[in-house]
Amino acid sequence: MSKVRLLVGTRKGAFVLTSDGKRQQWEIDGPHFAGWEIYHVKGSPANPDRLYASQTSGWFGQLIQRSNDGGKTWEPVGNQFAYDGVPGTHQWYDGTPHPWEFKRVWHLEPSLNDPDTIFAGVEDAALFRSSDGGQSWHELPGLRGHGSGPHWQPGAGGMCLHTILLDPRDPKRIFVAISAAGAFRTDDDGKTWRPINRGLKSEQIPDPNAEVGHCVHRIAMHSSRPNVLFMQKHWDVMRSEDAGESWREVSGNLPTDFGFPIEVHAHEPETIYVVPIKSDSEHFPLEGKLRVYRSRTGGNEWEALTKGLPQRDCYVNVLRDASSVDSLDACGIYFGTTGGQVYASADAGDSWAAVVRDLPPVLSVEAQTLA
C-alpha cells in the first residue's frame, strides 16, 4: 500500500511525518537536529530514501545533512559554499553597493534522475550544484553574472534564491526565483541566464518594464506542462503560458492576492492553490480565517477551502516553501504554519485536518509519495 512521508523543516529542527495512503493517522518522528533552523528538507525523485536537509544557525553557520534511509539516520556532508571568483556587490536596502556574502541555504532541489546531483538556492542569492551527493558544491556563476546582479536588492527576509524548478522535458532548462530580483531561466544547463519578468507589475518599481526588482515569492509548474508556470508574487498571482516569457495576472476574485506559497494539483494541471495573506505588513489571514483558495481554471476563479481549518482568531502565516502535494489519487495537499501546525487534506483540499499542532514555526513542507 502506498505511503506518504512529509519532510518538515522548522525553526528548531526537522520532523518526519508518515502515514499510509489513507492519510488519516500520522506518526511523527523528530526533532532531528534539535535547536537548529531547518530551512528545507527534500528527497530525491530518483531515490526517495535519499534526503537532503539544510541545517543552519546564526552561531554555527550552514550544514547540509544527507540521509540514505528516509530520514532515520543522517550524516553531514559538504558545507562550503564559495562564490565563484570575486563575488562583487549587489544593492543594499539603502541602494548602496554591498558585497555578496553567503548566509544560508534556503532551498534544496535534487535532480530528477540522479540522487547524487542536487541544486542549492542560497542567500545572498546564487545557485550551487553538487554532483557528488552534497560533498562539494560549485556555483553556477552565470546567474549572478548575467548583468543585472549589481542591481538586485534583498527582500525583507534577505536576498534569497528560494525556488528552483527543473524542467522534466528539457534537462538543460532550469527556472529560479529570487527575492527581490525576480524569476530567471537558463536553457543551457546553467551557463547563461536571463530574467523572465515581463508582465510583472510591482507598484513600488517606477519603471513598469523593469527587468529585475520584482519580489517573486514562489513559482510552481505541473510536470506535464513545464511551459505553464504559476507565480505567487509579493502581491498578485500570475500565470505564464510560455515558460516565463510573459506573465498575466490571474488573481481574479481572491480576497487578497498577497501570499507566499503556490501549488499545482498532482493530476490536474489547471487546479492550483494559494493561501492568501492580508498584506505585506500584516502577514496573517484575512479576518482571522485560515483559508486555502483553489482555482480549477488555472486562476481567476477561486473558491475558499475552509472545512477543518480555523475560521476565527487565526493569525499564522504560511511561508513560501511550506506547502506541498502528494501524487496519490485523490491528491493530498499539505501546508505548515508559523504557529507550528501542519495541515493535511486527503481530498484535494475539500477538507482538512491538523497532522500536528505544536511544532516550532514551520519553514518548509515536502510530501513524498512512497510505493
Report the interface residues with another protein, using CB under 8 A: 35-36, 57-63, 76, 79-80, 82
- Of the candidates 354, 223, 231, the one whose C-alpha atom is nearest the C-alpha of residue 290 is 354
Q: Which is nearer to another protein, 36 or 39 (CB)?
A: 36
Minimum CB distance to another protein, residue 8 (Å): 19
Minimum CB distance to another protein, residue 80 (Å): 5
Q: How many residues does the chain have?
A: 371
Which residues touch 60 (CB under 8 Å, ≥6 apart)?
none
Q: How many CA atoms lie within 13 A of 195 on its CB side?
A: 25
User: β-strand 229-233 against 194-195: which pairing, if any?
Assistant: unpaired
Query: Would you state the cell numbers that stand for residue 40, as one nine-digit string?
Result: 528545507
Q: Which is nearer to another protein, 52 or 230 (CB)?
A: 52
Residue 46, preceding bond cis, omega within 30 degrees? no
Q: Which is nearer to another protein, 61 or 208 (CB)?
A: 61
Minimum CB distance to another protein, residue 52 (Å): 16
Minimum CB distance to another protein, residue 39 (Å): 16
For cell 529570487, the residue is 178
Distance CA 88, CA 148 (A): 12
Sequential DSSP letters for 248-275: EE--TT-S--B-S-EEE-SS-TT-EEE-
Minimum CB distance to another protein, residue 76 (Å): 5
Distance CA 221, CA 260 (A): 15
By CB atoms closer than 10 A (0-12, 13-18, 19+), residue 7 is: buried
Q: What is the DSSP letter of 59?
A: T
Minimum CB distance to another protein, residue 139 (Å): 14
Q: Which is nearer to another protein, 63 or 127 (CB)?
A: 63
Residue 330, preceding bond cis, omega within 30 degrees? yes
Minimum CB distance to another protein, residue 63 (Å): 7
Minimum CB distance to another protein, residue 319 (Å): 17
Question: Between the CA atoms of 302, 307, 311 and 317, what dihedral angle is there, to the nearest 10 degrees?
Answer: -70
Q: What 3-state class would DSSP assign to 322?
A: coil
CA quadruple 346, 270, 243, 103: dihedral positive or negative?
negative
Q: Which is nearer to another protein, 137 or 273 (CB)?
A: 137
Minimum CB distance to another protein, residue 317 (Å): 18
Minimum CB distance to another protein, residue 176 (Å): 24
Distance CA 366, CA 181 (A): 25
Q: Which is nearer to another protein, 58 or 206 (CB)?
A: 58
One-letter amino acid of 48: P
Q: Which is nearer to another protein, 57 or 279 (CB)?
A: 57
Q: Which is nearer to another protein, 82 or 245 (CB)?
A: 82
Q: What is the DSSP letter of 192?
A: S
Q: Which is nearer to another protein, 76 or 150 (CB)?
A: 76
Q: Which is nearer to another protein, 82 or 156 (CB)?
A: 82
Distance CA 128, CA 105 (A): 10
